[in-house]
Copies of this chain bind each other. A is one copy, B any other.
Amino acid sequence: MVCKNAFYAQSGGVSAVINASACGVLQTARQHSEEIGKVYAGRNGIIGALSEDLIDTSVESEAAIAALKHTPGAAFGSCRYKLGSLQEHRAQYERLIEVFRAHDIGFFFYNGGGDSQDTAYKVSQIGAGLAYPIVCVGIPKTVDNDLPITDCSPGFGSAAKYIATSLREAAFDLAAMSRTSTKVFVLEVMGRHAGWMTAACALAAEREGDAPHVLLLPEVAFNEGRFLAKVEEDLERYGHCVIAASEGVRGPDGEFLSASGVEDAFGHAQLGGVAPLITNLISAKLSCKCHWAVPDYLQRSARHIASETDVEQAYAVGRVAVEFAIAGRSAVMPAIRRLSDAPYRWDIIAAPLSEVANQEKLVPHDFIRADGFGITDAARRYLAPLIVGEAFPPFKNGLPDYVRLQNVAAPKKLAREFVA
């Protein structure tokens, strides 16, 4: 086997553990120096490849690479940028080949969610389409947990642990205040189409009556009358009511309740503010004091309360991605396969990128309680092991001690600029 350099990049919304996957890639690549030379990281995802803005990871110390395992965010910068089709945007792909050839890159690792796996899949087609031999491996990442085939997506377990912990803590607060003050608390949860994170809030409840009392999943159409009746019933029964509402809740017309009219770079509606909306509705109709919270980025970056299970899986998919690449397996993504719920056991298989790209795995019907406001035992069995275990980062001066890499640019070899 000829030794080739590798390209690794991070894409899409970040997570508490995407850098743990980077750590898995870099440490494993360093252990295989006969097959993989340098690992170049793309600065800001695929844009780094297109603009020949490559970070030379070989200058980073072993300690800095190890510290990625406990550092949130995306150490090399991420992007929201989707490659067009090979047919219609041939110039982009020719540019990629130009950059890969100039830097002797034979391995391509792309770490992200559904859109990013689509990019990885398209790049994998260069080999056949443009006669440039490259081994492409996608690495799964998304707090939304909506990637298909893989049992769960790295990033989700930690976000789920954060949001369930936060909901439990806020519920203790609310229960203490409800006698004379606030009676309803609404927590807005990420997950535009898939309600996995909202469903995970239910893990905060241990026994009948525990919060959350109501889940508003994006998979269930919002019905104002039924919702208000449920809240009123819970207020009657428990004296307070905790609601976990997905940012992607939709009305019976299929429109996002929170549709702000703004679109993001992918042309998706930019959401925000379901919680204040729901809160105002309850205040007006049920005349009680409400509080709401929107943790937003906090929930996908909360490395301080990461799930150990999630960190291990994030590292493992990075490690196995390199092993797949060395074995010449292209156009695949390491996917987590569940072997048993309790004790929780899992291994990693190869999922074809063609089957992963642009697929969204929603919360299935049998995971949603008949009334739509909760989850079933099956869902709980699925979710429970994913948040298990603590993996606290080191602390310095009272705060998590996260690493910042040097991110030294590799010298450019091409004269031509390319505007992504």
Residues of A within 8 A of B (CB): 10, 13-14, 16, 43-45, 47, 71-75, 77-81, 161, 164-166, 168-170, 172-177, 179-181, 185, 203-204, 257, 262, 264-266, 268-273, 276-277, 279-281, 283-284, 289-298, 300-305, 307, 309, 384, 387-390, 392, 395, 397-400, 402
Contacts and interface: CB of A to CB of B under 8 A. Distances in A.
21 contacts: A47-B179, A74-B177, A77-B175, A79-B179, A79-B180, A80-B177, A80-B181, A165-B400, A169-B304, A170-B301, A173-B301, A262-B283, A266-B277, A271-B283, A273-B276, A291-B296, A292-B294, A293-B295, A295-B298, A304-B305, A392-B392
A13 B172 CA distance: 12
Nearest to A310: B398
A315 to B, nearest CB: 18
Contacts of A180: 44-45, 47, 79-81, 265
A186 to B, nearest CB: 9
A220 B295 CA distance: 26
Contacts of A297: 169-170, 173-174, 185, 291, 293
Given A169-B298, A265-B257, A397 B392 contact: no
Given A43-B179, A169-B400, 10 more contacts: A47-B179, A47-B180, A79-B179, A166-B298, A169-B303, A169-B304, A185-B297, A291-B297, A387-B398, A387-B399
B276 A264 contact: yes
A301 B384 CA distance: 23
A273 B177 CA distance: 21
A287 to B, nearest CB: 12
Task: Give the most central of A13, A257, A270, A302: most B CB within 10 Å.
Answer: A270
B272 A292 contact: yes
A397 B388 contact: yes
Nearest to A207: B404
Nearest to A305: B304
A400 B162 CA distance: 11
A173 B300 contact: yes
A271 B266 contact: no
A300 B173 CA distance: 8
Contacts of A399: 161, 164-165, 168, 203-204, 387
A84 B398 CA distance: 41
A283 B281 CA distance: 26
B268 A281 contact: yes
Contacts of A265: 180-181, 257, 277
Given A169-B303, A291-B297, A177 B14 contact: yes
Contacts of A43: 179
Given A271-B279, A297-B293, A398-B307, A302 B79 contact: no
A382 to B, nearest CB: 14
A272 B268 contact: no
B72 A172 contact: yes
A386 to B, nearest CB: 8
A152 to B, nearest CB: 14
Counting from the closest, the 8 A-B pairs by CB-CB distance are A73-B172, A387-B398, A74-B176, A293-B296, A169-B301, A268-B280, A44-B179, A170-B297
